[in-house]
Amino acid sequence: MTVIKKQTIEKNIPTWLTILLAAACGIVVANLYYAQPLIGVISSSIGLSATSAGFIVTITQIGYVVGLLFVVPMGDIVENRRLIVISLLLTAAALTVTAVSKQAVPFLAASFAIGIGAVAAQVLVPFASYLASESSRGRVVGNIMSGLLLGIMLARPLSSLVADFFGWHAVFALSAAAVFILAIVLSKVLPTRKPSADTRYTALLGSMWHLLRTTPILRRRAAYHACVFATFSLFWTTVPLLLSGPTFHFSQKGIAVFALVGVAGAVAAPIAGRLADRGWTKPATGIALVTVFISVLLPLMIQTGSPIGITVLVVSAILLDAGVSANLVLGQRALFSLSPEIRSRLNGLFMAIFFFGGAIGSAIGGWAYGTGGWSTALWIGVAFPIAAMLYFATEKKQFKM
C-alpha cells in the first residue's frame, strides 16, 4: 500500500509545485551573480582597492564550491526540507549583512556565507527528482532547471537596473526579503523526505571520492559541462567589456538589456529534458556541444561594429545559453537515473566540477581580453567545446541514459 501511494504521488507532482521549485531555484542561485556587474561601485563603497575588487565575486564562488562539497551531500542523510529551509535562512541573514555593510571584512564574510547558502538550489533539484516518476523525471528536472537558469541569466541585468535606480545596497536588501519569504513558504508546502541511508557524515564525505572513481557517467558528464560552462563564463565575463568599449559604446543599461537576450536560451532546458525521457540523451548531447561551439565560432568569424556585429552577438548569446542549458539538464537527468541513495552526492560533485570549470573560464577570459582583446578570448573560448566534442566522440553505448 505504501509503495502504491508513493507511486501515485510521484506521477501526480502538482504543476504549481514544479513552478514553485523552479522559481525557488532561480531566486536562490541569482545571489551568486548579483555582484558581478557591480564590482566597481561596491569595491569603492566598502574600501577595496581595484586590484582586490575581484574578491567580491571570488569569495562567493569559493563559498558555493564549499557548500557543494560539504552541504549538498547531506541531502543523502538529512531530512531534505529542513536542510533546504536552514540553508535559505542562512542566505537571507548573510544577504542582510551585505545590504548594510560599509566595510570590506563583513561584506566578504557575508558573501562567503551567501555562496554556502545558495547551494539550497542544488538540494532542491534532486529533491524534485525524487518526487517525479522515471518516465517524467527529465521533464520535471528540465522545467526546474529552466527556473535556475533564468535566475542565472536575469541576475546580472536585474542587479544593474536596481542599483541604477536605488543603489547597490537595495539589490541585497530586496533579495534578503525574497529569500526569507521563500524559506517560510517552502517550510509550509514541501513534503518531508527523510533519506533511508544510515551513514555518518564523515563516512558520507569519504564516499565522494569513491563515487567519483567508480561512476564513469559522473566523470564524463561533469567533464562535458565543465568545458561548456567555461565557455559560458568566458563569454559573459568578456562581452560586457567589448560592448562598453570603443567599438559599441554601450551604457550600463544597454549591457543589461543585451544580457536579457540570453534568457531566450533557457527554453532549451525543458526540451532537453523531454528528449532525455525518450532515451535521446546521446544525440541531444552532441547537438548541445555543437551549438556551444557554433555560438563562439560565429563572433570569431564575423567581427564588425555595425548592426550586423550586434546581431551576431545576439544570436551567439542565445545559442550559447541554449547549448549550456540543454547540456546541464541532460547531465543531471543521467545522474538522477542512478541510485536514489547517492543523488545528492552525485549532484554536489557534478556541480562542483563544472563550476570550477566556469571559474577557470572566467579567469582566463578576463586575462585573455586584457592581453589580446576579444579575438584572443574567443579563440580560447572555442577550444573548450572542441575538447568536449573530442571526449564525446569516445562515448560508448553503455553511457546512454
Nine-digit cell string for 197: 541511508
CATH 1.20.1250.20 boundaries in the chain: 1-195, 199-401
| CA nearest neighbour of 44 among 113, 92, 107 | 107
Better-scored residue on pLDDT, 361 or 106: 106
pLDDT at 301: 92
pLDDT at 136: 75
**Reduced 3-state DSSP string for 18-48:** HHHHHHHHHHHHHHHCCCHHHHHHHHHHHCC
pLDDT score of 5: 39
Find where cell 542565445 sits: 318
C-alpha cell at 391: 571526449
**DSSP letters spanning 136-189:** THHHHHHHHHHHHHHHHHHHHHHHHHHHHHH-HHHHHHHHHHHHHHHHHHHHHH
pLDDT score, position 62: 84
CATH class of 1-195: mainly alpha
| pLDDT single digits (tens) 262-297 | 778 878 878 888 888 888 999 999 999 999 999 999
Choice among 60-74, 100-114, 258-272, 374-388 with the minimum mean pLDDT? 258-272
Mean pLDDT over 10-23 rounds to 80
Q: In Å, how far from its chain's centre is CA 221?
A: 15
Instruction: Look up the pTM and report it.
Output: 0.79
Q: What pLDDT, on a 0 to 100 scale, did the predictor assign at position 360?
A: 84
Burial of 115 (0-12, 13-18, 19+ CB in 10 A): buried
Predicted confidence (pLDDT) at residue 101 exceeds the cutoff of 80: yes
Q: For the chain, what percent of residues have pLDDT higher than 70?
A: 94
Residues 6 or more apart whose Cβ sits within 8 Å of residue 373: none
- Output the CA–CA distances (angstroms, integers) from residue 70 to 65, 73, 116, 208, 307, in the order listed: 9, 6, 9, 10, 47
Q: Among 154-163, 179-188, 213-222, 290-299, where is mean pLDDT lowest?
A: 154-163
Q: What angle do CA 340, 343, 349 make, to 5 degrees?
A: 160
pLDDT at res. 90: 96
Phi, psi angle pair for 278, to nearest 5°: -90, 5
Superfamily per CATH, domain 199-401? MFS general substrate transporter like domains (1.20.1250.20)
Give the number of other Cβ atoms within 10 Å of residue 363's Cβ: 16
- Sort residue 106 into left (φ over 0), alpha (ψ -120 to 50) or beta: alpha
pLDDT digits (tens, 9 = 90+) for 354-389: 888 887 887 788 788 888 889 999 999 999 999 999
Highest mean pLDDT among 78-82, 179-183, 245-249, 300-304: 179-183
More confident position, 373 or 50: 373
pLDDT surpassing 50 at residue 114:
yes
Burial class for 198, CB neighbours closer than 10 Å (0-12, 13-18, 19+): exposed
25: pLDDT strictly greater than 70? yes
